[in-house]
Structures are given as C-alpha cells and as structure tokens.
A = this chain, B = another copy of it.
Amino acid sequence: MADKKPVNHIRLTSHPDGDAVSIRWGEADPTRRGPVVATLTEPAHRNVIGTHAGSYAVYRALAVAAGMLPQDHRADLKNTSPAAQIGPHPSWSNPDRIVSLDPWGAIAPQAFSAQAEQGIDFRPTIAVTRAHINLPELRDAVMAGRLKPDGDLLTANGDIKVVKAAVDPVWHLPGIAKRFGMTENALRRGLFEQTGGMFPELITRPDLHVFLPPIGGLTLYAFGDINSVSNKDIPLAVRVHDECNGSDVFGSDICTCRPYLAHGIEECVRTAQAGGAGVIVYLRKEGRALGEVTKFLVYNARKRQEGGDSAATYFQRTECVAGVQDMRFQELMPDVLHWLGITRIHRFVSMSDMKHDAIVRSGIEILERVPIPEELVPADAKVEMEAKKAAGYFTKGPVADATALTQVKGRGLDV
C-alpha cells in the first residue's frame, strides 16, 4: 500500500543556503527592499515562512496533491497590474509603521522587475481593481433623498463606482512583536506552539523574518479620488469594519454590523460627492476573530442564562467560552490606512474605542466620530449596543449605568 512508503527523504524544513532574495523591510528604494518570494518551485529562492493566499494556501496544496494543478505553475500576470495607483507613501519606508501587509504587494512585478528578469518567481500580495457596487440600502438612500445621484460616482439606480483592493496578510515578525511589546522569539514560539505545531520554520529559521499566515486578509473600497486620501486637507470618511457574516450577508438582527456598514458607505459617498473621499476597510475577523462557532455558542449562552440576554452580562458570556472578550488585535488594523498614506480622518464611522485608539496611537488624527443612527439599530441589537457604550464605545447620547444595563434585555432563544 502506498501509505507505507518511507517518508524520511522529505525535507521537513529548509535551511539557509545563500540563494534567498533579501528583504529589507521598510527600505524606501524597492531595488534594496526586495520582493516577498514564497515560491515552492525554487525553494532556495524563498525568503518567507508560509505560502500565498492566506488560508486558501491549503486549497492550493490540495489542488497540487490531487493532480489538478502542476506544482511548478507560474502565474501569468499580464494585464493584472493595479487599476489605480496607490503610493509609494512615506509610511512605506518606516519599518514599524506597516508590519502586517506588504506595502509593495500591489506593484511587486513592476517595483521588483530586476528580480523578475532574473527568473525569481514572486507574485502580488495585493490586487487593485475598479468596480460598480449596488446595495439595496444605498438605493433606499437615493429614494429617500439622503443621497443625490450625480451620474458619475453615484447613478440614479444606485450604482456606485469604487476602486477596491484585496490584501493578503504578510507579517514582518520583528514589527509584529514590537507592536505587541514582546520579543520576536516569544512571538515565534507562541505562533508555533499554540497552533499545534504549524510551521517549525518559525523556530528553525530565525533568518526568515517574514511570515505569510494562513488567515483571512482584508478588502478596501475607496470612494472618490483615491489619491486625495493622503491629503489631510481633503475631507475623508473612513469605516473600518470587521466581518460579521450573519449580519453583513444574512441580516441577523442581533447586531448592528450591516446597518452600520451601509451607513458608512453612505457617509463615504456623501463625502466623496462633496469633493472629499471615503474608505471602507473590510477585515476577515469573524466573531471578533474568535470564529463563528464560538460566536454561536456565545449567542446560546447569552440567551439561555439566568435572567435572559442582558447588556449587563454581554461581555462575560464571550469571556466564559473564549477566555477573552475579543481577539481582533486592532493594533495591526491601522496598517492598511498607512498603506494608503492616510494621516487624518475627518469623519470616522465607528463607535469602537479600540479601533479609534489604535488608529490615533499609530499617528493618524481623527477629527470626528460618527455613531450609528439610532433608527438603524435592530431591536435585538440593543443589548450589544448598550453594553458596548457602557464599556467605552463612543456615543453622543447617555450611557447606561450598572442598574440600567440590567434592564436592557434581548429576545429569548426560542421566540
């Protein structure tokens, strides 16, 4: 049986051999910075731990194993270059400013053409395209007269023109460690041991400082002139949105995610129409990066607890199941804003103190915070909303005290 074949000729980990292409993270000159090389066809060229496409790397591996995809396939990148130019911005050459994505990721084939000519196989970790989007809530905004079609950015049928970019995670381990105040060694050990042994190269290859983690990336949508977002004198609206599939796609009424996202897009369109610009960032951090299984377990625990679902115990139920209230690591989130060269946000469409504080601490000014309009909060989402405001979320209205929080109740599970 084939399963009994000896396996000891498999190379479990690679070793430094001098052929790897250097990466000098934060170097302004791309000829010195060097590309992220994750190719598996020339292992000697690799200068990272992991492979491309975040968690989709596993599907690629399965495709090769199943004989669907030749393992030496090279992407034909003809006609794929960014549909809008982004950067370089001064932030790109600060090694501590951007640590969780590769600022050169969209223009790698152009910026590192010398290495491409040498036959090095590398590929973009960011793709920038243009699209038309159309959301029912934005059509409603047009119908209600809150938005006026201009025939270009926004048409009468609600079509909105955007530039959008998909961004895969690229972690510079020294910078990630610094961001969290730990040593690079502690970070590497934690990532290796606490994933059950994923990527021994985290331990055995301290010379490799870039890691492509198998996690979801982010998408950004820009409204108006994307080049104006780095001009601090031009009004900019921003919403940073963490994925919530149950609301964003299916319209669950237990939270405010999709209504707030739609409101954020409306603010972006309005700001762009007035000569400014807008940016929505969508990050794959389902259920506060705890995942949807934990999220649904917590929903059950909230709704079945003694006394019923209550704003007073909202965070405790997550902590019982998950051990923490939140795993989103907002400390990494501002990287995408710095990639765009943003230095000032005029209207920040979020009530999250964690997001606000992370952005401000990273050196971006926030002039105004825009809460979700009261009428957009679904009935069963009041538990979350009042709990979050009491915990420090931004609001212009009153904040419930401990007694009042116990009065804010959600629906039962079987209603």
Chain A residues proximal to chain B, CB less than 8 Å: 1-5, 7, 10, 12-14, 38, 40, 46, 49-71, 73, 75-83, 124-137, 140, 159, 164-168, 180, 182-187, 189-201, 203-204, 206, 212-217, 219, 221, 245-246, 248-254, 258, 261, 282, 285-286, 289-301, 304-305, 320-324, 327-329, 378, 380, 411, 413-414
Give min CB distance, A41 to chain B, whole Å. 11
Whether B291 contacts A53 by the Cβ 8 Å rule is yes
Whether A76 contacts B289 by the Cβ 8 Å rule is no
Give min CB distance, A72 to chain B, whole Å. 9
Give min CB distance, A225 to chain B, whole Å. 14
Q: Given A75-B322, A195-B57, A304-B79, are A166 and B296 also a contact pair (CB < 8 Å)?
A: yes
Whether A291 contacts B164 by the Cβ 8 Å rule is no
A214 to B57, CA, bound (A): 9
CB nearest neighbor in B for A249: B248
Residues of B within 8 A of A60 (CB): 194-195, 327
Can you pick out 18 interface pairs between chain A and chain B where the beta carbons lie within 8 Å of each other? Answer: A7-B203, A14-B197, A40-B196, A49-B196, A50-B195, A61-B191, A61-B193, A67-B182, A69-B323, A77-B321, A78-B301, A80-B321, A83-B300, A128-B296, A132-B254, A134-B378, A214-B215, A219-B292
CB nearest neighbor in B for A211: B58
Whether B216 contacts A214 by the Cβ 8 Å rule is no
Whether B289 contacts A59 by the Cβ 8 Å rule is yes
A246 to B411, CA, bound (A): 32
Residues of B within 8 A of A65 (CB): 180, 182, 186-187, 189-191, 194
CB < 8 Å: which of B165, B200, B253 contacts A132? B253
Residues of B within 8 A of A184 (CB): 3
CB nearest neighbor in B for A191: B61
Residues of B within 8 A of A245 (CB): 219, 282
CB nearest neighbor in B for A301: B79
CB nearest neighbor in B for A286: B56
Whether B63 contacts A324 by the Cβ 8 Å rule is yes
A136 to B1, CA, bound (A): 56
Q: Given A53-B291, A293-B53, A329-B59, are A69 and B186 also a contact pair (CB < 8 Å)?
A: no
The 3 nearest A-B residue pairs measured at CB: A65-B190, A136-B136, A127-B296
Residues of B within 8 A of A80 (CB): 297-298, 300-301, 321
Whether B53 contacts A54 by the Cβ 8 Å rule is no
Whether B195 contacts A83 by the Cβ 8 Å rule is no
Whether B55 contacts A216 by the Cβ 8 Å rule is yes
Q: A3-B185, A76-B321 are in contact. List 4 more A-B contacts (CB 8 A).
A: A69-B327, A79-B304, A132-B380, A166-B295
Residues of B within 8 A of A411 (CB): 132
CB < 8 Å: which of B81, B136, B286 contacts A300? B81
Q: Given A66-B182, A79-B301, A291-B56, are A251 and B164 also a contact pair (CB < 8 Å)?
A: no
Residues of B within 8 A of A221 (CB): 250
A65, A248, A411: which has the most chain B beta carbons within 10 Å? A65
A12 to B205, CA, bound (A): 13
A66 to B327, CA, bound (A): 11
Residues of B within 8 A of A195 (CB): 50-51, 57-58, 60-61, 214
